[in-house]
Structure 1
Amino acid sequence: MKTVSIIVPENAVPAAIVDPQYMFSAINMFYKNAGQPPFFNVQLVGLNRDIRLNNGSVSFHPDALIQDVAHTDLIIIPAISGDIEAAIAANQGFLPWIVSHHRQGAEVASLCIGAFLLAATGLLNGKTCSTHWLHAAAFKRMFPDVKMADDRVITDQNGLYTSGGANAYWNLLLYLVEKYTHREMAIMASKYFLLDTAKKSQLPFAMFKGQKNHGDDLVLAVQEYIENHFDSKISVEWLADRFGVGRRTFERRFKKNTANSIIEYIQRVRIEAAKLQLEEGQKQVNEVMYAVGYNDPKAFREVFKKYTDMSPVDYRQKYTSEVYHLGKAI
């Protein structure tokens, strides 16, 4: 029997505690229905016996405190919410415990923004990690020694697992079920929970929001100019001249403060605008391409796929609102 320890941090998202508990308990139910003993010993582990979440509206009473756990095979770190730095500070007691058990052979999986707690242990240094795309920029600033793969739904390396945003953690839970049991059990779980096992990227769901709380007025002015003139012909040289700064210094400052090169920033702003227009469904792909500043279909397709993992045509088909068309019909 494998022991799964789901920690109950302060500032945790309650669903990210309950859902893995439900998943592994369901697997035990499947084994029981097949006349076999349960496969997982599922326990909630805390720093104290009473943890109140959601401003006290939800209470958890862990099965064990960290000092009571002599052995575990898998540690689940749920998503956290609110002020991330404050959440890490409030849960410092978990960090050495997680490191200690990992060194003893336990695997560790973080769900969504739980990656911040996992990264705070130092175990991810030099490794690749995923988290919610909305918090990727903050993660890169706080943990520069960790490679952020904000397009990935799941990462797996050396017994450390991370998942992308929000419901992507269900894909990681299925992945862990398959690894610890077998493929057929994971398929049964996917059918039971109505989950898509094929999701590999969270890029189609990501919305680009440029990092702007850096305090560099010049870079902020450039960002705002790009966002207001993305449909115009813009080059790095032209922007450097317009804002009166040397190109090398300009590129270095921009990359440092936004985590994007200037070209990447222009591309991402244009693609975000293209996504919104494609979602409305009123323009054809070529019309959208011209509207956001591209005139080369091949280049537009390549850049669009780079940031969404989909072609513009596929994206339009997937995200054109059925509700919108229903409303027009009515």
Structure 2
Amino acid sequence: MKHITLLYPEGQCNLSTIACIVGTVEIFSRAEALWQQRGNKKKYRLEIACIVPHKKCVSHFVALTPDICINNIAKTDLIIIPSAMPGEDTADSREMFDWIHSQYKAGAEIASMCSGAFILASTGIMDGRSCSTHWSFEDRFRSLFPKVNLHSGKLITDENGIYTNGGAYSFLNLVIYLIEKYYDRQTAILCSKIFQIELERNSQSAFAIFTGQKQHNDEIVQQAQTYIENNIEEKISIENLSSRFSVGRRNFDRRFIKATGNTPVEYAQRVKIESAKKALESTRKTINEVMYAVGYSDVKAFREVFKKITGLSPLEYKNKYNREASVLQ
């Protein structure tokens, strides 16, 4: 029988942490029960592990008592890190990072949920590897962990025994993914039906709200960002934009990428598509009207960029998020 460790990272928890823990325990418990009902032997034992062995209250109405202290776990097969933002770098947190790192070196696999990716990245294991987290933490994550290959649009990454997932309650999709890995496809399908969790969802891009990285000190880039955002209807030439600020194109691109994490072209596309998304969500405008309003004249190009950024076509997005549009279908 193999062992799963579900971490309870003291000092870094909130209600999302508890939601991840409770949901994971419930679904894995059902998976184990379904597995044994088919005549199989018990496959996994799951324990909630903490750093300090005592009850911790997350808020005035929620408390959780872990099963075991990490110091008492000599070997585990899978470590699950729930949603949790890193707090101060204390002796306890460093002990947790070291324990995760040593277990991974000993052969354990690791899965992080939502902002639990910050804890995983703090171990140093993720340098040079693919990772996902909640789209709203993208800028902060990139600034803290520049060596990690962040894919903020992906719902789940799977690389060399490390699994990460996107934001909030999408941790449920990761749990189903892990159940298929650790049990089998049949058990995963049954769990997805029982708990009504969509199978094989692979993107969180449609949920993202693009605001642009503004926490930098490059005044020229900030002015360029403002120009792009205030002139959505224009078909912006990056050559003209760089010359407007008396900066060479190559230097302008380099500065823009360093400051925002996007090329000027990517930034303009994301600003335009964010405006298009809002129009599709809340107005009766046709796809073509929205397209022209954000500076596109080629339907194919607009559709390709829109789908690249959101994972959906403009029509699919409108039908999904505009109630009036879906009623009129």
TM-score by length of 2: 0.92
Alpha-carbon contact 1:88-1:117 (below 8 Å) kept: no
Picking from 245, 259, 262, the partner of 2:261 is 259
The yes-or-no answer on 1:91 pairing with 2:90 is no
Shift of 1:217: 2.2
Q: The residue matched to 1:214 in structure 2 has which SS?
A: coil
Shift of 1:150: 1.3
Q: Deviations over 1:151-182 (max 9, x none)?
A: 11111111111011112211111111111111
Structure-2 residue corresponding to 1:11: 12
Distance 2:306 2:201 in 1: 19
Distance 1:88 1:162 in 2: 24
The yes-or-no answer on 1:147 pairing with 2:144 is no
Q: Deviations over 1:16-60 (max 9, x none)?
A: 121111121122232454465433211111111235354454322
Distance 1:14 1:155 in 2: 23
Counterparts of residues 1-330 of structure 1 (less than 5 Å) = 1-9=1-9, 10-12=11-13, 13-34=17-38, 36-50=40-54, 52-55=56-59, 57-81=61-85, 84=86, 86=88, 91-321=93-323
Q: The residue matched to 1:112 in structure 2 has which SS?
A: coil
Q: Deviations over 1:203-249 (max 9, x none)?
A: 11111110111122222222122111111232112222222323222
Distance 2:91 2:214 in 1: 25
Distance 1:289 1:314 in 2: 15
Alpha-carbon contact 1:154-1:163 (below 8 Å) kept: yes
How has the CA–CA distance of structure 1 residues 96 and 210 changed in structure 2, closer, same or farther, with 3 Å as cutoff?
same
Letter in 2 for 1:319: Y
Q: Deviations over 1:73-113 (max 9, x none)?
A: 110001114xx464788622211101111111111000011
Distance 2:26 2:176 in 1: 12
How has the CA–CA distance of structure 1 residues 164 and 301 changed in structure 2, closer, same or farther, with 3 Å as cutoff?
same
Distance 2:274 2:70 in 1: 44
Alpha-carbon contact 2:7-2:79 (below 8 Å) kept: yes
Percent identical: 44
Unaligned runs of 5+ in 2: none
Alpha-carbon contact 1:219-1:257 (below 8 Å) kept: yes
For this pair of structures, how many residues does the alignment match?
A: 324
Q: The residue matched to 2:212 in structure 1 has which SS?
A: coil
How has the CA–CA distance of structure 1 residues 269 and 20 changed in structure 2, closer, same or farther, with 3 Å as cutoff?
same
Distance 1:227 1:88 in 2: 41
Q: Deviations over 1:274-314 (max 9, x none)?
A: 01111124011000000111111111111111101111111
Alpha-carbon contact 1:3-1:72 (below 8 Å) kept: yes
Distance 1:319 1:309 in 2: 14
Q: The residue matched to 2:115 in structure 1 has which SS?
A: helix
Letter in 2 for 1:2: K
Unaligned runs of 5+ in 1: none
Distance 1:50 1:100 in 2: 23
Distance 1:243 1:263 in 2: 16
Letter in 2 for 1:286: N
Let me know the Cα RMSD of the aligned residues: 2.1
Distance 1:218 1:317 in 2: 39
Alpha-carbon contact 1:52-1:58 (below 8 Å) kept: no
Distance 1:234 1:163 in 2: 35
